[in-house]
Amino acid sequence: MPDTHALGILGGTFDPIHFGHLRLAQEVADALSLSEVRFIPGGTPPHRAAPHSSAQHRVAMVRLAIEDNPLFVLDERETRRDGPSYTFDTLAALRAELGAAQPLVLIMGADAFTAFNRWHRWRDIFALAHIAVAHRPGAALMQINDTALQQAFLQRRTDNGEAVHRAPAGCVIEVPITALDISATAIRGLLQARRSARYLMPPAVLEYIEHNYLFLRGNFDNAAG
Ligand code: ATP
C-alpha cells in the first residue's frame, strides 16, 4: 500500500447515476490504491446537451448511491457554480485547496477519453491530474482519431499503478474494469417506456426516481425540479 493518498475524481452528468459509474469508481480506486473518490456532478455541461433532470435531483441521486461507501465523497462545487463547469477549473480549484504535491487522478470511461481533445484546455489538464481511463463497452481507445490526443496518450501512458503516487499529475493509465454496458441514456429510455430499470442502479436511487416522477417524458423534462 503506497504512503501517499492519491485522490480520485469522477465527474459526470449522473442523469441518473448507475452501477456503471459505481463499479468504475470502485475498481479504479482498488486498482490504483486511491484513498478517496470524489463524485462531482456537473452543472451546465459545456460539451453536451443540458441534463434531463435538475442539478438538485442529480446531486440527491449521487448522495443516495454513495452514502454507504466510506471511500466515496460527494463534491457539489460544480452544481453550486453559475455558468459552465469546466473540468480544468474544477481541477485547478482542487489543486489550490489540496496543494501542489497531492496526486489527483481524473477517472473517466474510454468514451470520454476519446473525445478529451474537445475539452476546454485539455492539454493543461495533464499538469493538474493523472488520468485513469477505464474500458467501456462500445468505446475502444483505438478509436482516438485526433493526432494530438493520440500523441499525448502515447507519451503519457503507463502500466504501472504506482506512477500515480510518485507524481502529482501527468500520467495516463488504462484500467481494465468489469464491462457493464449500462448508460444513463438507456436507463432514461427504459423509464420513459415505463419499463423496469431495476438492477441497473442502487434501489435507493430507483426509489428516488419513482418518488419524484423523474425521466417519465422526453428531453428537458423535470428541468426546473
Ligand atoms: P449518458 O448516457 O447520459 O451519456 P453516461 O451513462 O455515459 O450518461 P456520464 O455521467 O456521462 O454517464 O458519465 C460519467 C463518466 O462515467 C464518464 O467518464 C463515462 O465514460 C463513465 N461511465 C459511465 N458509464 C460507464 C460504464 N458503464 N462503464 C464505464 N464507464 C462509464
Q: What is the mean pLDDT of each run of 10 residues along the chain (225 residues)?
A: 81 97 98 98 74 94 98 97 88 98 97 94 98 82 85 95 97 95 97 97 98 81 41
pTM exceeds cut of 0.85: yes
Q: Evaluate: CB of 6 within 6 angstroms of ligand 1.
A: no
Strands (E), the chain: 7-12, 36-41, 72-74, 104-109, 130-134, 157-158, 172-175
Measured in Å, residue 3 CA sits from the centre of ligand 1 at 30
Indicate which atom in ligand 1 lies nearest the CA of residue 107. Answer: 18
b/e sequence 92-121, b meaning 16+ C-beta within 10 Å: bebbeeeeeebbbbbbbbbbbbbbbbebee
Which residue has the least CA distance to atom 9 on ligand 1?
12
27 lines ligand 1 (CB under 6 A): no
